[in-house]
Structure 1
Amino acid sequence: MQYFTEDFVDFFEELSKNNHKEWFHDHKKRYEESVKKPFEIFIGKMIQEIQKYDPKLEIDPKDCILRIHKDIRFSKDKSPYNLHYTAFISRGGRKDKSVPGMFLRFSPRMVGVMGGCFGVSKEQLHNLRTKIHLDPSGFRKLIEDKDFVQKFGEIKGRALKRIPKEWKEAYEREPLIANKQFYFVAEEATDLITSEDLIPKLMVYWKTMQPVNDYLTKAMQ
């Protein structure tokens, strides 16, 4: 099924040249019809597909989709709108990015497919490091899986510059102990947005990332 027309990409390409409230107001109906409404339908269908494998995923599209309006309070760039549309499909949704899930970003440049956890609390991070320390081989087996590496490459994230004494031995065995975030990224060409195979292709990514997401979820508890 095709969820988006070419105008989804065209809208953001034009917005990039007219990133101000007057232009957006004049094209609000177009935004609703070409971007917002089809994206909500698409995310709803993605949730339904994921629920076939994860019945505990109980969330509505509106709780996954991020606003197109930028937070410009602390930014030098005062243009008011994001040039992409994004959603975080997880049990925590967009309000809790510590919960591992699937983060999708659609833009004129690419389709971003991300997994893992971003805003991890101090307690969650301690639990996660402890789990990796106790089972470094199990963690390595997941992130070195052939399909995972082919699609996502490696685990990314900000890391400690100085390793605390209690983690130095563990760090020598597994350097990712130093990470403060654990996420991974893949990119697809923009033409995937209008493809009839959009959801089947994204579900392949979901199934590949899910063993790592499950590990992170259980480890942080």
Structure 2
Amino acid sequence: MTYFTEDFTCFFKELAKNNHKDWFHAQKKRYETSIKKPFEQFVGDMISHIQKYDTELQIEPKDCILRINRDIRFSKDKSPYNLHYTAFISKGGRKDKSIPGMFLRFSPETIGIMGGCFGPSKEQLHKIRTSIHKNPSTFKKLIDNAEFVKKFGEIRGETMKRIPKEWIDACNQEPLIKNKQFYFVGEEAPTLLTNPSLIEEMMNYWKTMQPVNEYLSKVIR
């Protein structure tokens, strides 16, 4: 099934040159037709496909999709709209980015596919570090999987600038323990947006990331 037309990328390219409320309001019907409605349908279908493998995922598209409006309260850039459309498909949806899931960002430049823990709490972070320290080979095996490396490369995230004494030896043995986040990123060309195989390709990414997401989900409970 094809969800998006070429106007998805055209809309955001034009928005980049006209990022103000007057232009957006004049293009509201186009936005609904080319961006919002097909994206909601796509996310809904992704949820249905994922539920075949993970019955605990009980969430609606509206709880996954982020607003196109930017939060400009503390930004020097006062452009009111994002130049991409995003969704966080997980048990917590867009409101809880500590829960591992699939974060999708569609833009004219790229399709971003992300997973892992973006914002673990202090307690969750301690559990992840402790689990990796106790049995580093288990996590290492998951992230060294050939298909995972091919699609996502490596685990990313900010790291501790000052390592507490109790973690120094552990960090020397496994540098990943220094991370304050545990996420990973894959990319596809934007031409995939108009390809009937879009959802199939995104599900391939989901299946590849799921073992790592599952590991992190069990650890932080």
Shift of 1:96: 0.2
Name the counterpart of 1:146. 146
1:1-221 to structure 2, matched below 5 A, reads 1-221=1-221
Measured against aligned partners, the alpha-carbon deviations of 1:38-82 in whole angstroms (never above 9, x if no partner) come to: 000000000000000000000000000000000000101000000
TM-score normalized with structure 2 length: 0.99
Mapped contact 1:9–1:108 kept (Cα < 8 A): yes
Q: Deviations over 1:129-183 (max 9, x none)?
A: 1111111011111111111001100000001011111111111111010111000
> Kindly, what percent of the aligned residue pairs are identical?
70
Unaligned runs of 5+ in 2: none
Q: Is contact 1:157-1:183 (8 Å) kept? A: yes
Deviations 1:184-216 (A, max 9, x none): 001100011111000000110000000000011
Provide TM-score, normalisation by structure 1. Answer: 0.99
- Long gaps (5+) in structure 1: none
Alpha-carbon distance between aligned partners in 2 of 1:19 and 1:117, rounded to the nearest angstrom: 31
8 A Cα contact 1:136 1:173, kept in partner: no
Q: List 4+ stretches of structure 1 deviating above 4 A.
A: none
The alpha-carbon deviation at position 86 of structure 1 amounts to 0.2
- The count of corresponding residues between Structure 1 and Structure 2 is 221
Q: Secondary structure at the match of 1:156?
A: coil
> Which letter does structure 2 place at the counterpart of 1:178?
K
| Superposed CA offset, 1:73-129 (max 9, x none) | 010100000000000000000000000000000000000000001111000011111
Matched residue SS, 2:177: helix
Q: Which amino acid aligns with 1:56?
A: E
User: What RMSD over aligned residues (CA atoms) do the two structures have, in Å?
Assistant: 0.5
